[in-house]
Amino acid sequence: MKITRVTVTLNPKVTSDTNNKNSRIMAFAEVVIDSCLVISNIRVINGKQRLFVAMPSVDCGTGEIKDGKAKVLWHDIVFPTNRVTREYFEDVILGEYHRVKELAEEAVENVDHGNEPDSYSDNSVTDTGNDINEITDTDKPAEE
C-alpha cells in the first residue's frame, strides 16, 4: 500500500499559535492510496501531548451522562488495522501538515513585511513517493 498523494488544508479558525483554545482541529487532510482510493475528512488534532491524526468518523448520538454532560459517541468509518499502518499515515500526513503550515507562515511573514511573493500557488498537494512495504504483499489484488 502506498499513499500516492496527500492534501492538507489548514483550519482557518486556528491561528499559527498551536495553543489556540478555540479549536483543537489544526487541519484537514485527504489521502489517495495507490492512485485509486481516496480517504477524506481526516483531521490533524492538537492533543494534550502531541499532534495526532484522527481518521474519518460519524457522530452516533449521545451515550452516558457524566458530571451533567452527555458524552458524544463516535464511530470510525475508516481506520488502520495495525500499528505500522497508523504510524505510516501519521508520518505522511503530519509531515505534509508541517510543510504546508511553514509555507503559510512564510507567506504571512512576507505580506507583513510588504514583500508579497511574485507567485504563491502551492495547492497543498504532495506526491509522497512513500511506500509501506510491510503491507504491500498481503494487500495486492489477485492477478487476473
> Where in the chain are the domains?
3-115+123-137
Give the pLDDT score at 6. Answer: 96
**35 or 15: whose pLDDT is higher?**
35
Yes or no: is domain 3-115+123-137 CATH 3.30.1120.40? yes
Instruction: Tell whether the model's pLDDT for residue 83 goes beyond 70.
Output: yes
| Residue range 18-32, pLDDT digits in tens | 555 567 999 999 999
pTM above 0.75, yes or no: no
Distance between CA atoms of residues 137 and 106, nearest Å: 41
Distance between CA atoms of residues 21 and 14, nearest Å: 9
Q: Which residues contact 31 (CB under 8 A, 6 or more apart)?
A: 3, 5, 6, 7, 38, 39, 42, 89, 92, 93
- Greatest mean pLDDT among 48-57, 70-79, 131-140 lies in 48-57
Distance between CA atoms of residues 98 and 20, nearest Å: 17
Distance between CA atoms of residues 21 and 69, nearest Å: 20
